[in-house]
Amino acid sequence: MNDVLANADLDAALEEARAAFTARNPASLARFTDAAAVMPGGNTRSVLFHAPFPLAVARGEGCLLWDLDGHRYIDFLGEYTAGLFGHSHPAIGAAIRGALAGGINLGGHTVVEARFARAVCGRFGLERVRFTNSGTEANLMALATARARTGRGKVVAFAGGYHGGLLTFAGGGSPINAPFDVALAPYNDSAGARAVIETHRADLAAIIVEPMLGGGGCIPGTPEFLASLRQGASEAGALLIFDEVMTSRLAPGGLQSTLGIRPDLTTLGKYVGGGMSFGAFGGRAEVMDVFDPRRADALPHAGTFNNNVLTMAAGLAALTEVYTPEAAAALNARGEALRARLNRIASGTVLQFTGLGSMMTAHFRAGPIRSPADAATGNAGLKELFFFDLLAAGLWFARRGMINLSLPIDDAACDALADAVAEFTALRGRLLAAD
Ligand code: PMP
């Protein structure tokens, strides 16, 4: 189809979809207007905003959500991977109620925190771990640890990578990034990355990388690329940090276990705290023991809520009773099958789903997507239309196209998503034709 005609059709379809969304959601709009009087843009978490206004969620149960206007959605967002257990898992609820019964804000060590630490270490191949309150904080601590250990200042990160609100490397970085001295390298480009590492070799403290870009578009790192970073870090005497805040869910031992690559430090977050606020960084004892307060030269690691009783109890139950290695294998197999099915439905169009296991992202671009630069050339208008069309069909997922499975997602939920994608490709076929 002629490009000019296609763009006019897309603009008209988008205008219609936005108007229908606004008309359908008056209570969410009123909430948004009200909140904007006291919160910048009615928002306290930037990713949740989208034009013309975001929906407000009234409640959740299992893998279902209801918005303020009473519409029901199947939750394929899974709280950007933190909501792996769904909204009302009985074992997590019991653990939290048990912790509440024992009192909160105890201001001391508990037995549960070391049990949880043992479970986390055992699962992800760490000798020592420290808890934080978020993935952002875990990454800040991991980078600070690498700088202190090496006595060097430089950090290599990857263009399009995301390691937290203060460690954002899309679009060249953010003005509010933490003031680490960062050199950006290209993702999935071993030669390009090794050249950047070589340039900064003498002052290189750390290389930080997600083994699959999560927020950056569910783009898996190739084993060859990640292995070359391992080698580059070792040769430079720098620490390799795997940010597995999202990807640790992709295999029982985290994505690193399937790659057979052992980073010096691993950071965790999201679901590992059972859905409570959580972050962690850990690795070899010899690296982490700089935080041992018995040492005269110990480094400080503070945080009022690092061992808060709700996270410790929920995380312990989550990892040992709920997201067992078997459950992890099953959830990721379900995700693999779903992604393959969606790609079959979308074949012959510009729509494709990248990812691994229980995480995927919809892209509107034909051809391989190996980097954020590839993903950035996708059709943004089609992505927006996809979002509104699927919302109208009762599917909740990220405006940026991210879809994450949670444990209560069953065959019927997968069928509903597959049907909605099939309907979208049928209805919008003219706009989706691959050249
Ligand atoms: N690293 C990665 C890979 C993430 O996806 C995120 C959160 N989306 C973070 C770090 C930051 O975690 P938090 O939001 O808990 O600070």
The CATH number for 215's domain is 3.40.640.10
Q: Calculate helix-pair angle for 3-24, 380-392, nearest 10 degrees.
A: 40
pLDDT tens digits, 287-333 = 999 999 999 999 999 999 999 999 999 999 999 999 999 999 999 99
* Proportion of the chain above pLDDT 70, given as a percent: 99
**pLDDT tens track for 77-105:** 999 999 999 999 999 999 999 999 999 99
Could you tell me the distance, in angstroms and rounded to a whole number, from the CA of residue 305 to the centre of ligand 1? 18
The residue written with tokens 């609820």 in the block is 93
Q: Both 110 and 259 in a single domain?
A: yes
Q: How much is the average pLDDT of 19-44?
A: 98
Pick from 322, 348, 368: which residue ends a domain?
Answer: 322
Same domain, 223 and 302: yes
Domain boundary among 322, 356, 387: 322
| Closest protein CA for atom 2 of ligand 1 | 163
Q: Interior CA angle at 82 toward 78 and 88, to 5°?
A: 65
Q: How far is the CA of 370 from the centre of ligand 1 (A)?
A: 21
Residue 266 Cβ contacting ligand 1 at under 6 Å: no
The reported pLDDT for the residue numbered 3 is 72
Measured CA to CA, the distance from residue 32 to residue 397 in angstroms comes to 19
Torsional sign, CA 332, 410, 84, 365? positive
Query: In the predicted model, is pLDDT for residue 17 greater than 70?
Result: yes
Q: How many angstroms separate the CA atoms of 55 and 48, rounded? A: 9
Is 135 touching ligand 1 by the criterion CB < 6 Å? yes
Is 404 a pocket residue for ligand 1 (Cβ < 6 Å)? no
Q: Residue 1: is its pLDDT beyond 60? A: no
Q: Is 221 in the pocket of ligand 1 (CB under 6 A)?
A: no
pLDDT tens for 251-297 read: 999 999 999 999 999 999 999 999 999 999 999 999 999 999 999 99
Q: What is the pLDDT of residues 211-223, one digit of tens each?
A: 999 999 999 999 9
CB pairs under 8 A, 24+ apart, for 291-294? 291/130, 291/145
Please name the residues in contact with 45: beta carbons below 8 A apart, sequence gap of 6 or more.
Answer: none
**275 and 343 share one domain:** no
Domain-terminating residue out of 322, 344, 379:
322
- Structural domain including 111 reads 90-322
pLDDT at residue 6 greater than cutoff 90 = no
Does 180 share its domain with 308? Answer: yes
Both 115 and 158 in one domain: the answer is yes
Q: Which of the 8 DSSP states describes residue 203?
A: G
Please name which of 93, 70, 33 lies closest in space to residue 43, comparing C-alpha atoms: 33
Q: Residue 68's domain is classified under what CATH number?
A: 3.90.1150.10
177 CA distance to ligand 1 middle (Å): 14
pLDDT at 435: 67
The answer to whether residues 230 and 197 belong to one domain is yes
Q: How many domains does the chain have?
A: 2
Do 23 and 124 lie in one domain? The reply is no
Name the DSSP class of 168.
B
Q: Are residues 360 and 267 in the same domain?
A: no
Residue 32 near ligand 1, beta carbon < 6 Å: no
The mean pLDDT value for 140-158 works out to 98
Residues 241 and 128 in one domain: yes
Per-chain mean pLDDT for the chain: 97
Q: What is the pLDDT of residues 96-132, one digit of tens each?
A: 999 999 999 999 999 999 999 999 999 999 999 999 9
Q: Which atom of ligand 1 is nearest to the CA of 133?
A: 15
| Residue-level pLDDT at 416 | 98
Tens of pLDDT, residues 334-356: 999 999 999 999 999 999 999 99
User: Within this chain, do residues 179 and 308 fall inside the same structural domain, yes or no?
Assistant: yes
- What pLDDT, on the 0 to 100 scale, is given for residue 349? 97
Reply yes or no on whether the pLDDT at 62 is more than 70: yes
Cβ atoms 11, 385 nearer than 8 A: no
Same domain as 130, residue 38: no
Sign of CA dihedral 181, 185, 188, 190: negative
Minimum CA distance residue for ligand 1 atom 13: 135
If asked whether residues 330 and 312 sit together in one domain, one would say no
Question: What is the pLDDT confidence band of residue 5, given thresholds at 50, 70 and 90?
Answer: confident
